[in-house]
Structure 1
């Protein structure tokens, strides 16, 4: 099993167990692969949802640049929805899972060819 497969397996479990959702495994794999090497770095693998600067980076670098969304209050609402789905008290929010939740929330699966 490759390192990527191990990460995807861990993220599938997070979507099922922590978020209570049945994941689109193909999309989750594509989102995970697109995250690149950061998923192999302990600190960068997760997002700090309580850090406003981090959420601003997610908004600008992921939602606006990667997903092509325009600046609006809807972006903050989407981030809040992803935090709620993941569980506000969940300390370990994996970046790939968080991005997956945002991709699904905004219906941007096509960005990943899904």
Structure 2
């Protein structure tokens, strides 16, 4: 297995154990690939949920640009719901896992089809 495969396995485990959901491995793989080289950088592979500017980046770059959603309060509500599911006490909230849950939340799996 390569490094990306190892990371996908780690993200799947987070979804199972920390988020209580069985991942769609095909979608998780595509979301992980879509994150690009960020998954290999310690600072970029996680979402710093305590930093408002980081959440704003997720809203603008992922939800609006990538998923094509219209801006509105429901975007931040969804981000907060994902954070609640992941667990506030969980230090490492992996970007690919957060993006995966957001894509599922909004029913935008077809973006990765």
TM-score, L = length of structure 2: 0.98
CA separation in 2, counterparts of 1:24 and 1:42? 25
Residue number in structure 1 paired with 2:33 = 33
**Structure 1 position 75 matched with structure 2 position 75:** yes
Residue number in structure 2 paired with 1:59 = 59
Q: Secondary structure at the match of 1:69?
A: coil
Structure 1 segment 1-16 matched on structure 2, within 5 A = 1-16=1-16
Aligned-residue RMSD, C-alpha: 0.6
Deviation at 1:21, TM superposition (A): 0.8
Q: Which stretches of structure 1, 4 residues or longer, exceed 2 Å deviation after superposition?
A: none
Structure 2: stretches of 5+ with no match in the other structure: none
Q: Secondary structure at the match of 1:46?
A: coil
Structure 1: stretches of 5+ with no match in the other structure: none
Figure out how many residues of one structure are paired with residues of the other and give that number: 113
TM-score, L = length of structure 1: 0.97
